[in-house]
Amino acid sequence: MARLKNYWCAKVIRTNGRTVQYRLTMDLQHALNGDPQGRNEMQNALLVIPLAPYLPGRKPRKSQPQARKKSDPPFGIGRVIEIYRLPANVAQRFQVTRSQFIGREYWTTRPFKICNTYLRHDYPWLSQKQIAADITYWQNRLFKDHPRENRFWRFITRQRVHHQLKQIQHRRFRYEQKKWRM
């Protein structure tokens, strides 16, 4: 597969109000390069995003689903504000989204259950619950002036993000320790 010179990136707003930039997955890259109408579909879409960095190191094979799930960060849903292209050397620094998204014309009119069934995919149970809470937030935002995040799931996800960051810090320490050992 040839490397792209420019990557599609998205400015995404999370349920906590933070705006974060992400790089889209390779299958979305190819879809957007081939279909100009897809860019319109992505505007204001709900997109599955990592809420913490991935663990560094080698990637587990697809034949090892348990190892893959242990290295995955917690996932949530963000609303796409803007889609744009950036040079590869700039875009490589951004976290990569997942491929699951639902366009605005679907998530604003479809019932919660249909959106949730599609977006939660095969993620771990806690990420599925976070995704469900985020979908509820975005759908409530259509009808309420000041919707709030689910406090319980916000707390759980904050703990999971903290745990993921601790694991990354621990792995970096072990790597440095091995490098300098005599």
Map residue 88 onto helix, strand or coil: helix
Which among 92, 100, 85, 103 is positioned nearest to 10, based on CA atoms? 85
Which of 30-44, 96-110, 127-141 is predicted with the least confidence, judged by mean pLDDT?
30-44
pLDDT band at 71 (very low <50, low <70, confident <90, very high): confident
Q: Say what the pLDDT of residue 130 is.
A: 93
Q: How many C-beta atoms lie closer than 10 Å to residue 34's C-beta?
A: 8
- Phi-psi group of 17: left, alpha or beta (phi > 0 → left; psi -120 to 50 → alpha; rest → beta): left
